[in-house]
Structures are given as C-alpha cells and as structure tokens.
Amino acid sequence: MIDTIANVSDLEDQHSSGAYLKRDITIVRGAGATLWDDRGNAYIDCVGGQGAANLGHCHPAVLEAITRQSAELITCPELFHNPVRAEYQAALCQVAEMPRAFLCNSGTEANEAALKIARLKTGRTGIIATMRGFHGRTMGALSATWNKEYREPFQPLIPNVTHVPYNNIDKLREALNADTAAVIIEVVQGEGGVHPAQDGYLGAVQDLCHTNGTLLIIDEVQTGFGRTGYLFAHQRDGVQPDLLTVAKSMAGGIPMGAVLIGERVGELPPGTHGSTFGGNPLACGAGLAVLKELTVGASGPDVPADGNLITRARELGQQVIDHFRANLSENAVREVRGRGFMIGIELRGKVAPILKALQERGVLALPAGPSVLRLLPPLVISDDDLWQAVTIIEETLNNAF
C-alpha cells in the first residue's frame, strides 16, 4: 500500500520510464477546473489535461456516459457493428462536416493514420509540415514534428518530409512538387509556442494543395472541441481539410483519436488500416456526451444563457488576451498570442521558474517551449477562477524579471 506522500514520488521515480520530467506534486482528484494534491491543496487548472480536459475534470455528463456504457459493453473491435459507435460516428461527421471517420486512440495515431491515408490515396510519398509544428511521437507523426530534440535521436525517420516556415505561403509554394502527398498543419501551433495562423494563410494553403493534387491534413488534436472558441478552429478560417485529425478532449479525458475523411479522399479499401481499441464503445459513449455538451448546450452558474461554452471561450478568452496585453509589463513579456482559451505568453526569460512560482500560488500552467507560458483552462472554468488565475499570473510575471 502507498501510505505516505514520499512513497508516491519515490515509487514513480523508481519504476516509471524516466521519459517525463515531473513536477513535485501528486494530483489525486479533480472537479471542473480544480485539481487537488495529496495534501489537500487546491489548484486552479490552466493545464487542462494538456488539452484533454476541455470539459474539465470528472464532468457529470461524461461520468454518467461512461458509467452507463461500462455496464453495457466496454470493448468491441470493428469486426462488428455497434450502436454507440454508429451514433458517435454520425454525430462527429455531422459537426465536422466531413463524411467519414477512422477512430483510434490518440493524437499521434490519428496523424499516423492521416499520413498513411494520404500516401495510399495519392500514390505519392512526400509530406510537407511546418517549422515549430508538433504532430506526435510515433515514427510517422514524429517525422512531421519539427523539434530536433524529439526527432534526431530516432533517425532515420520516414523519407521525403520537409518543413517550411509557418505563415509563409511562398515557401510552401516552392516546396510543393509532383510527389507531395500531403501538407500537414495546425491552425494554432500549440507545442511550438501558441502561434495562430494569420488570416488568409490557411485558405492559401488549401488553394495550393488543390492546384497541386495534394491533400490538406489539418491537425486539430489540440485546437479541437471548442478550445479556440470554435468547435474546430479551422471553421473560423473557412477552410475545408481533406483529412482532419482530432484527439485530446474528444472523449472527456478517455483516450480517443480520430481522422475525419473528406470527399476528395473517399472510402478506404478494407484492410488498409486498423486498431484493436479504435471505436470502442466506452470512448464512443464518452465522445457522444462531449459533443452533446459542446453543441447542444451545457448548464451551470458560469455558462451563458444559451448554454454555449464555445462562444463563452471565444469572448472571454479574447478579454483575457486583451487584459494581458494591457497589463503585463514589457520588461517581462514579449508578446501575448492566442485564440479563445488557448493562450500563449512569450516571456523575456525562462518559463520554468514561472511555472513553479505559479504552482506555489495555486495555479497550474504549461510551457510551450523554453520561454512561452501556455494556458489551456477547461472551458467550464468559472469567471471567478479564471480572473483569479489571471491576477496571479499578472502579479507573478510583473514581479519576475
């Protein structure tokens, strides 16, 4: 039995892979946008499960869905039809405005599938990704990821992957050729420092892809499901991906990923891809609850009268961004960027000591690279908690450098 605080961290340090740099707290419980450690301290959560908790922790609708579904059927490979999966796929395709979906279990798997589908359907091999882009850690998705520290120890990766500067349409035009199967791109680069696409950029990327017979893969693993103030961030830009990859928040914290497949791609030939856990009824049940909560309407003291968490994130997120721009000291901060509840503050110094200082004051936040503070609060965070976190962040940064 684990009976003391020290035992938990000792045990983890002894037996876990070592691949993660862990913070010195043990989280034991969560509700909405609050997390508690094993000493009973409460934190305002601006980590949001690293993007997997858009609906907050232990959301009652998700809890109800997985409780009900776990008594009915948990696992069911796609050898068989299943009513929860059928309903979920139909609902997901409807809100994403795309005809088909391949279901899997994580973001990297979704991108892996999208890259395979692009090669299969175009008969080409080349992939163009972007500098600062992040698409996951498995060999294919990793090849499209930019960060050299993630990529270089594992070379050789898949061939014919090139990286072009983000928000630079001329460099993309130069890089496209007759062997380019796909362009893979985020709407707001998340891990790479919270860099949104400039207005018109994604539309121009789409046009170039169409002209070149190249498929457009939009990676919304982090930006999807309301995070940026739109159900899917690309909907703001008025573009239509050929392949749309999603994961993180899609099933309320239960592992799940998907590739939405557009008209230009069409149906996959049988046997060309697969996943044992993909489309399992537990995740599909949770996914249905999430879609209902985000699109039909939520309830609660801080939810607007129309029940729309996404509109709230769009408007309140912009207010927070504007507030930071007006109130953060130029001595501490270079730039504030973001859309909705996806906010990045580029610092003049290192982010690590800031994260620690915030944690000591009861706010948990994320980095995005060495000098960007990233905030991904759950969309259900109360107005009070959000502004309290903003005040603590402001005081911490303005006194820091």
Q: Which residues bind ligand PLP (CB under 6 A)?
A: 51, 106-108, 111, 134-136, 186, 190-191, 219, 221-222, 247
Q: Which is nearer to ligand PLP, 54 or 106 (by Cβ)?
A: 106
CB of 54 to ligand PLP, least distance (A): 13
CB of 378 to ligand PLP, least distance (A): 16
CB of 373 to ligand PLP, least distance (A): 16
Please say whether the beta carbons of 372 and 194 come within 8 A.
yes
Q: Which is nearer to ligand PLP, 247 or 392 (by Cβ)?
A: 247
Q: Which is nearer to ligand PLP, 130 or 396 (by Cβ)?
A: 130
CB of 205 to ligand PLP, least distance (A): 16
Q: Which is nearer to ligand PLP, 260 or 397 (by Cβ)?
A: 260
Q: Which is nearer to ligand PLP, 112 or 385 (by Cβ)?
A: 112
Q: Which residue is nearest to ligand PLP (CB)?
A: 107
Q: Which is nearer to ligand PLP, 56 or 133 (by Cβ)?
A: 133
CB of 4 to ligand PLP, least distance (A): 31
Residues 6+ apart with CB under 8 A from 174: 164
CB of 71 to ligand PLP, least distance (A): 27
CB of 138 to ligand PLP, least distance (A): 8
Q: Which is nearer to ligand PLP, 247 or 358 (by Cβ)?
A: 247
